[in-house]
Structure 1
């Protein structure tokens, strides 16, 4: 048992040091657990993300490393890659079939919460493209927009608003994103929020236009029906059949 434990520890150290894939492969062939973890609970995959070692991340994934394994603070490999702003590693992880893009850490924050908090705009957009809800809550009811608004991250705010995040979504602790932005003095973000709220009237406008279009179509249908009736009446009055010469 101690021998296995020692090998697992050596495996973790090898990944932490950034040793060669060849050496890592040798350790795996000796029966090392691909999902072994250190004293903080961090897995090999998480450690590879901490090292920003894309090659190692890809290699460990080919060896069936648990992509959703959580370590310190409940952070997964994806959350760690997001925190560090490693767009390339985030992309690798998102391409894993079983990755849980909405897995929460100990604070109830998901990858997109952290991306918004650290102003990683490209990652925010990429996560939204994976059907992550724009208004997903953490443990205190804050959405990614709340954190982006709190920190004055204009670009992240813009992206989240365009994907339907609500400026009026209430966090019991901090209030709505609009209220947070006002309190923090982020006037540009406040104006963006107000504009987004103004534009929420569009569904009503579109609804009215839809009714008007429907009414218009009914009018056209009635007119066409009347034209057909008149044509039929005219055809009954006049004989338009061809006259054949005897």
Structure 2
């Protein structure tokens, strides 16, 4: 028979002194705390509360008493003691967003890679949208915390901040070297996650940092597919397109974003995609084209839009401006250029101080990206190659004329008038 370990209950004296110590700590009564610690029962300063399992140091930390924390550390408080949830005073300091107390505890030997009772890294306790908590995260990272540590679901801190839409913390983590190519437990990229949760402010930050923009997530869907399925995400769709996300990638069911937009009856998205030359003849895995879906849904408005688009494409081919329907994106670019001609001329001329007709490639791209040029990354490359001058210059006057990418006289004289 295995004998059970006998647990000795505390004496009334021990309980009374611990309660008195806790009360004195929370009231910032240094005189009484000093008296209890020096004259009371041995190691009272590290005795655990019977219910919360907190020490006096936990109480001082949770109440934000910086001077009391310093005093208790001087009196021999053990910074490794854990409360009922397995949290050390350091973890509680991060919970409360108290940078100064956190620094005191680290100086006293606290572990910047500490974990709680559930093995959750202390960094995740700083996930709150306040400057206080951000400061704590920065302290931990400066002291050696692992920026790419993962939670119980295998997600990094950056994945969590993007999901929650915390702009400041996301920027800080990226600046300090967090992996922008990481994915969440569902296989979603950071850009995908930001788009899914409508965090528009994060998209430019992630794109600038080099986060993959065209990687697919569950079901082979890209962020563009997600936006096309929801009419409330139109502004997100525009933003993603301006950042170079592909507009006609097929998911695992063979559906392009245009398929998804038609299936959802998302008229704004349909018009947007058609204006960027997305192909109409692509069939999904069930053999259905865009028109098939519109007919099956008895969607008269979409059928009208498609018929009009087909007529435009047919005319562009018959007029000899493009060779085949797959080049209709060139007509979309030409139409966009005409619509923005005044702005483009002003922008280009302002940058071309010596009026050479040439611009640095970077300057040229910054200008057309600012006005959401309707091109994919691959299409941009085609146009830039056609208008290349030397290793880094672009012939912007020829671009405005459109004669280098359209096959017949599309030029209407606006560029050089």
Query: TM (normalized to structure 1)?
Result: 0.75
Does structure 1 residue 79 correspond to structure 2 residue 188? no
How far 1:101 sits from its partner (Å)? 0.9
How far 1:127 sits from its partner (Å)? 2.4
Deviation sequence 1:7-59 (CA, Å, 0-9, x none): 862212322x4452111112212322212222333321221122121111111
Which residue of the other structure, out of 153, 178, 186, is the alignment partner of 2:299? 186
| Residue 40 (structure 1) aligns with | 153
Does structure 1 residue 108 correspond to structure 2 residue 220? yes
Does structure 1 residue 163 correspond to structure 2 residue 276? yes
Residues paired across the two proteins, number: 209
Equivalent position SS for 1:48: helix
Which residue of the other structure, out of 129, 136, 141, is the alignment partner of 2:242? 129
| Residue 254 (structure 2) aligns with | 141
Tell me the C-alpha RMSD between the 2 structures. 2.5
Gap change, CA 1:207 and 1:67, over 3 Å in 2:
same
Indicate conservation of the 8 Å contact 2:192/2:222, yes or no.
yes
Does structure 1 residue 10 correspond to structure 2 residue 128? no
| Residue 207 (structure 1) aligns with | 320
Question: What is the CA–CA distance in structure 1 between the aligned matches of 2:407 and 2:152, rounded to whole Å?
Answer: 64
Indicate conservation of the 8 Å contact 2:189/2:212, yes or no.
no
How far 1:204 sits from its partner (Å)? 1.6
Larger relative CO (CA 8 A, sep 6+): 1 or 2? 1
5+ residue gaps in structure 1? 214-246
Deviation sequence 1:55-76 (CA, Å, 0-9, x none): 1111111112122211122112
Question: What is the CA–CA distance in structure 1 between the aligned matches of 2:251 and 2:315, rounded to whole Å?
Answer: 29
Gap change, CA 1:164 and 1:26, over 3 Å in 2:
same
Deviation sequence 1:182-224 (CA, Å, 0-9, x none): 32333222221222122210332331799987xxxxxxxxxxx
| Residue 168 (structure 2) aligns with | 55
Q: Which has the higher helix share?
A: 1
Equivalent position SS for 1:107: helix
How far 1:156 sits from its partner (Å)? 0.8
Deviation sequence 1:128-183 (CA, Å, 0-9, x none): 23333321111111111111111111111111111111232110137222222332
Question: What is the CA–CA distance in structure 1 between the aligned matches of 2:156 and 2:287, rounded to whole Å?
Answer: 34
Question: What is the CA–CA distance in structure 2 between the aligned matches of 1:43 and 1:208, rounded to whole Å?
Answer: 50
Query: TM (normalized to structure 2)?
Result: 0.46
Does structure 1 residue 150 correspond to structure 2 residue 263? yes
Gap change, CA 1:41 and 1:134, over 3 Å in 2:
same
Question: What is the CA–CA distance in structure 1 between the aligned matches of 2:237 and 2:321, rounded to whole Å?
Answer: 34
Question: What is the CA–CA distance in structure 1 between the aligned matches of 2:204 and 2:222, rounded to whole Å?
Answer: 16
Which residue of the other structure, out of 101, 122, 134, is the alignment partner of 1:21? 134
